[in-house]
Chain A
Amino acid sequence: MMGKRRKWLPCLFLFISLIVAGCSSDETGGEENGGEAKGENAEEQVLNIANDQEPAGLDPHKTPAHSSIRIYSQIYEGLLTFDENMEVKGQLATDWEQPDDTSYVFHLVEGVKFHNGREMNADDVVYSFERILNEETASHIASYFSNVEKVEAEDDYTVKFTLSEPDATFLSYLTNASAVVVPKEVVEENEDLQQTAVGTGPFKLEEWVPDNHVTLVKNEDYYIDDQPKLDEVVYNTMKEESSRLSAIRTGEVDLTTLSAKSASLLQDQDGVNIMDYQSLEYSYVGFNVDKEPFNNEKVRQALSLATDRQSIAEIVWDGDAVVSGPVAPSMGDWAIDVSKEELYQRNLDKAKELLAEAGYPDGFKTVITTASTYPDMVDTAQLLQQQWKEIGVQAEINQIEWGEYIDTWSNTSADVLVGRNGSGTDPDRSLNYFFNTEGSANVWNFSNEDYDNLVEKGRKTLDKTERKEIYAQAQEQIINLSPNLFLVSPMNYVAVRDSVEGFTPYPHNGEEIVEVYKK
């Protein structure tokens, strides 16, 4: 009996080991490619980038995650793009004209090939925008093009867009990394483009190994001569900042984004350059303006006066952030100079006065909700808690995880929410989209008729100077009405090995690598 028992147990172990070994051998094919992707050939120009999140999918029309955008924006191209000064320029369109206020005609670059070898033409542009606007696609950028009535191919290289009303945002939204041209046959074959990628861009998708890396290789048929210079780009998923930090120190990766605190740790590191640029983001406090006491404008203004934005910049962001209004300062002259705004001058007496006028002479109790996922948001909430205490507002902090936070944000189920917003590439985004009564992202229940009229007029005004004036007024108004308190816009940091040449990050594009090469 005993002997028998002893014999079958090792057999069981052997059996399990064999199953596991059998499973493991399946993966060799894929991972051998992975091994090569690391660039064993010394001649090859391979750029290793650390990606702080795993891409959520590669369909440009469906995936707004930054970890995805940074990859698919190297694979796909749109009609237009921004130059380094954030001026619109052609990408797949050579030029364009505007026969009247509501139509745009684009002339396409000829001879552009998709990565599957087929030539891109006007029908592809029409298909791509129809796909974006099709409700079934559930595209995150559908709202940007809600004014588009018709997209037609006039000939193989000419596309006409007809809008329902004049829309000054149209061209700048066409530069969006998601407003790109995709081939119909690939979408139809795969149902969507989450797992595959066929664009016209400088790099082609080679492989994606989940939670490990995405490898892109040079598009040899790229229509711009001498671009790209790299043979291969590898995006390594490295969620932990300390791992990214040590990998850039030792040269395991060539490029990584970093927090301000880590950037200062790398300041004196040989072989690593730190580059910074002003981001298009700003931090904010949002109020549910339907709820007491935040339905009272004076309470919100009092909290604005009690907020010391400069100390938030200094403590939360180590001084590497600038005080911001609703339009981030990196948007250039679209943004107003907020430093002179009355509500930005910390004044506790005035704040107390306003609170008393609103019927809260002794302050009140509230809860600040924020996402535990982002330390800067938690730090900001803690500073606000201290600062507001000085006018008698007793705040508790409620930290929630990201999935719940997004839910809380969209359902306005918190009275006070600390968060961060992207300014977008057009002021319409931060002013209309977030604060118009009908704005898709107006989760604050905020509504003001004058303001609505102003931002709607801004959207329809095609004259740039006039438009700027309108948005300057709108910014003043929204700062005074304070449905949100706009705090600071942080710097972004990129650490780059000194073997990398030709890399310059911009606010609207932190990762332009088409001209990058390695020494």
Chain B
Amino acid sequence: MYAYIVRRLLMLVPVLFGVSVFIFVIMRIVPGDVAMTILGTDATPESLRQLREDFGLNLPIYQQYFEWMAGVLTGDFGESMRTGKEVLPDILNRFKLTFELTLISAVISWVIAIPLGIIAAIKRNSKADFGVRLISLLGVSVPNFALATVLILVLALFFSYSPPVGYVGFFADPATNLQIMILPSIVLGTAMAGAVMRMTRSSILEVLRQDFIRTIRAKGARERVVIFQHALRNAMIPILTIIGMQIGTLLGGTVIIEQIFSLPGLGQLVLTAITQRDFTVVQGAVLFIAFVFVLINLLVDLLYSYLDPRITYK
């Protein structure tokens, strides 16, 4: 098991190397120039040349890459071309928010999705089942930016409420922090819940048809024990896969939701950096997101073996 984890962690190296080359090249291929976006219509050829030199953009591309990589390997992701801020501390700082947002959204989605999914499976083809399926369909198909905008406007228009302005960290002021985080988490949580609900329902239905469930029932086990101790646990693997993917995606930054709710998370950082061609920030952030995504996948794989002891890694 430990050897497996070490092996998987070592595999991070080629993955991150590939990602770093890919994003580095892509950022230099797309049209757009950071010096021009900074200086705008006031740019003169001299000031543009000077800025490009300051950013090292006059060097050959392989040299730019090696210089950047040399920094990354020593933990120095460079400075933002636009604001001069150090990239890595900025990414880590914003990741805290994105992590919190992901965590709360995930909890909201599990609280909604898993019980409802189970009910739908047990009461298959009943009104409750149709209700749950309708809700999950809505969750999957209503775009979260639409839900977010409607939520903001309805609360402001009919309840004269809008969340506090300006993000405050959880440890600085938990009450304000939760007020700020709850709306975006509800929006993301309901969207996540849709998919999880469907998967829970179909996965449990499948497990309930299996022989061992019949055996357990034949042994006289109560239905609650059948569902929660046996069926749910066996049904968890595909649900976990979906949850893992959702969390990985959310941790990479939820651009639209962060923008709508003015949250200074990872998504906003990447979006702003891309539109302004702030190469160092985009490269650093993408590398970081890739790292997190791979880690989450590893964690999900390890959880499989926890839930189903038949799965072992060597």
Contacts and interface: CB of A to CB of B under 8 A. Distances in A.
Interface in B282-314: 299, 302-303, 305-306, 309
Contacts of B31: 403-404, 407-408
B83 A212 contact: no
B166 interface: yes
A28 interface: yes
Contact of A242 (B32, B96, B260, B277): B260
A135 B43 CA distance: 12
A8 to B, nearest CB: 8
A39 B48 CA distance: 42
Nearest to B271: A239
B126 interface: no
Contacts of B83: 56-57, 194-195, 210
A255 to B, nearest CB: 12
Contacts of B54: 138
B84 A57 contact: yes
Contacts of B168: 31, 34-35
A192 B84 contact: yes
A210 B170 contact: no
B172 A27 contact: yes
B166 A236 contact: yes
Interface string B138-182: 000000000001001101110011111111111111001000000
Contacts of B173: 31-32, 35
Interface in B77-102: 82-85, 90, 92-96, 99
A404 to B, nearest CB: 5
A142 B167 contact: no
A138 B306 CA distance: 58
A182 B85 CA distance: 20
B114 to A, nearest CB: 18
Contacts of B274: 403
Contacts of B51: 138
B272 A250 contact: no
B30 A404 contact: yes
B47 A135 contact: yes
Contacts of A92: none
B264 A212 contact: yes
Contact of A27 (B30, B38, B93, B277): B93
A23 B96 contact: yes
A245 interface: yes
B41 A252 contact: no
Interface residues of B, number: 74
Contacts of B40: 64-65, 140, 406
A410 B96 contact: no
A114 to B, nearest CB: 21
Nearest to A195: B84
Contact of A35 (B38, B172, B309): B172
A290 B92 CA distance: 49
B137 interface: no
Given A2-B309, A195-B85, A407 B36 contact: yes
Nearest to B274: A403
B268 A211 contact: yes
Interface in A15-71: 20, 23-25, 27-28, 31-32, 34-35, 37-38, 48, 50, 54, 56-57, 62-65
B275 A402 contact: yes
A405 B284 CA distance: 24
A237 B41 CA distance: 24
B-side binding surface: helix, strand, loop or mixed?
A: helix
A24 B161 contact: no
A192 B45 CA distance: 21
Nearest to A271: B160
B39 interface: yes
A139, A250, A409: residue with the most chain B Cβ atoms closer than 10 Å? A250
Given A31-B169, A35-B176, A243 B37 contact: no
A213 B168 CA distance: 10
Contact of B46 (A56, A142, A210, A409): A142
Contact of A401 (B90, B164, B275): B275
Contacts of A238: 165, 262
Contacts of B95: 23
Interface string A235-253: 0111110110111011011
B181 to A, nearest CB: 13
A24 to B, nearest CB: 5
A136 interface: yes
Contact of B47 (A48, A138, A409): A138
A227 B226 CA distance: 74
Contact of B171 (A2, A27, A404): A27
A168 interface: no
A27 B309 CA distance: 41
A243 B171 contact: no
A64 B261 CA distance: 26
Nearest to B2: A8
Interface string A412-423: 000000000110
B269 interface: yes
Nearest to B40: A64
Nearest to A54: B272
A209 B99 CA distance: 18
A141 interface: yes
Given A35-B172, A138-B39, A404-B31, A246 B165 contact: no
A9 interface: yes
A172 B303 CA distance: 68
Contact of B260 (A6, A25, A142, A243): A243
A234 interface: yes
A463 to B, nearest CB: 28
A50 B264 contact: no
Contacts of A213: 165-166
Contacts of A28: 169, 171-172
Given A24-B96, A27-B96, A237-B264, A242 B153 contact: yes
Contacts of A406: 32-33, 36-37, 40
B165 A48 contact: yes
A246 B85 CA distance: 31
B166 A50 contact: no
Contacts of B264: 209-212, 237
Contacts of B96: 20, 23-24, 27
B1 interface: yes
Contacts of A56: 38, 82-83, 276
A5 interface: yes
The 8 closest A-B pairs by CB, nearest first: A211-B264, A403-B32, A246-B156, A140-B42, A31-B172, A138-B47, A138-B50, A194-B84
25 contacts: A6-B306, A24-B170, A25-B171, A28-B171, A34-B166, A35-B176, A38-B164, A54-B272, A56-B38, A57-B83, A137-B50, A142-B47, A195-B85, A212-B262, A213-B166, A237-B262, A238-B165, A242-B149, A245-B156, A403-B33, A403-B274, A403-B276, A403-B277, A406-B32, A441-B42
Interface of B: 1, 30-33, 35-48, 50-51, 54, 82-85, 90, 92-96, 99, 149, 152-153, 155-157, 160-173, 176, 259-265, 268-269, 272, 274-277, 299, 302-303, 305-306, 309
Interface of A: 2, 5-6, 9, 12, 20, 23-25, 27-28, 31-32, 34-35, 37-38, 48, 50, 54, 56-57, 62-65, 135-143, 191-192, 194-195, 209-213, 234, 236-240, 242-243, 245-247, 249-250, 252-253, 373, 401-404, 406-410, 421-422, 440-441
